[in-house]
């Protein structure tokens, strides 16, 4: 399955990198890594921010995280590190695969996801059954797909009945926000359907910092992050999802 319409000309150095995916979009990278990758799979792709800007997309369990990589005249910049060549950049991942995000999440880069994957040349035969007619026209065919927009991490949640705060592991995928007792649990305590969420915003009513709330018809959920930056990240991605949900209605 190919996600590319064309392949732009790039430096020979990047062309030689088997896990450089050219103009693969953020959405397609998430779809690819979540559907066919595994925990620790990663790839390099062009960033929408312009020439010399790239994104390292990494699958971290059930989410995909994206990190900036910048090509400079002196080499490649990644986080606080600079590498004189692409080979030095690649060697760094092979020798030091542990990657930390601003939110404190540790990710192990285990295996690069290749740009070229062997595919069978097998196609289904087509037979059109003219007896079935829907009455729809070309104008009714609207391309639509939900955004992955994944995020995960620990948040502290205020209980509904017993008003105490407990740390829970949260995952955001498509339009579902799930929280678990801890990161190693497979079954969530609850799944929140964001299509029913009316608002997300910072909250200053509780005696805690870095808090925000999600407003649902039956309940308002109060959550706290480790930092203001992390709380802002959660709010921004959930607001982005809510805006797209409203457009689809």
Q: 116-158, pLDDT tens digit by residue?
A: 887 777 777 766 666 666 777 777 666 666 566 788 899 999 9
The pLDDT assigned to 219 comes to: 94
Kindly state the helix (H) or strand (E) to which residue 243 belongs, with its residue range.
helix 228-248
Share of the chain above pLDDT 70, in %: 85
Angle ∠(166,211,239) on CA atoms, nearest 5: 115
- 206 DSSP β-pair partners: none
Upper half-sphere CA count for residue 132 (Cβ side, 13 Å): 3
The pLDDT assigned to 216 comes to: 96
Q: How many Cβ atoms from other residues are within 10 Å of residue 233's Cβ?
A: 17
Where the chain has pLDDT below 50, the residues are 1-10
**Order of strands, edge to edge, in the sheet holding 81-83?**
81-83, 75-78, 63-72, 53-60, 41-46, 111-112
Give dist(CA 79, CA 160) in Å, integer: 40
The pLDDT assigned to 154 comes to: 93
**Dihedral sign of CA atoms 76, 77, 83, 89 in order:** negative
Domains within the chain, CATH numbers bracketed: 14-112 (3.30.505.10), 151-248 (2.30.29.30)
Give dist(CA 51, CA 35) in Å, integer: 29
The pLDDT assigned to 85 comes to: 85
Say if residues 90 and 13 touch (Cβ distance below 8 Å): no
> What is the secondary structure of 94-127 as a DSSP string?
HH--EEE-TTS-EEE--EEPPS------------
The pLDDT assigned to 200 comes to: 95
């Amino acid at each position: 399955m190919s996600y590319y319409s064309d392949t732009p000309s790039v430096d020979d150095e990047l062309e030689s990198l088997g896990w450089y995916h050219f103009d693969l979009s953020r959405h397609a990278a998430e779809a690819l890594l979540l559907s066919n990758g595994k925990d620790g799979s990663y790839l390099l792709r062009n960033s929408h921010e312009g020439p010399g800007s790239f994104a390292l997309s990494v699958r971290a369990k059930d989410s995909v995280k994206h990190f900036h990589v910048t090509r400079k005249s002196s080499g490649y910049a990644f986080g606080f590190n600079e590498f004189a060549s692409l080979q030095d950049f690649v060697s760094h991942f092979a020798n030091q695969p542990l990657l930390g995000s601003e939110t404190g999440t540790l990710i192990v880069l285990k295996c690069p996801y290749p740009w070229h994957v062997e595919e069978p040349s097998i196609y289904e035969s087509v037979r059109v059954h003219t007896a079935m007619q829907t009455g729809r026209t070309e104008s009714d065919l609207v391309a639509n797909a939900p955004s992955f927009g994944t995020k995960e991490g620990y948040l502290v949640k205020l209980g509904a009945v017993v008003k105490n705060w407990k740390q829970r592991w949260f995952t955001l995928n498509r339009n579902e926000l799930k929280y678990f007792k801890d990161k190693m649990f497979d079954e969530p305590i609850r799944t929140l359907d964001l299509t029913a969420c009316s608002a997300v915003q910072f909250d200053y009513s509780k005696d805690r910092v870095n808090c925000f709330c999600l407003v649902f018809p039956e309940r308002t959920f109060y959550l706290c992050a480790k930092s203001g930056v992390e709380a802002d990240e959660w709010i921004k991605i959930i607001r982005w999802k809510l805006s797209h949900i409203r457009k689809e209605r």
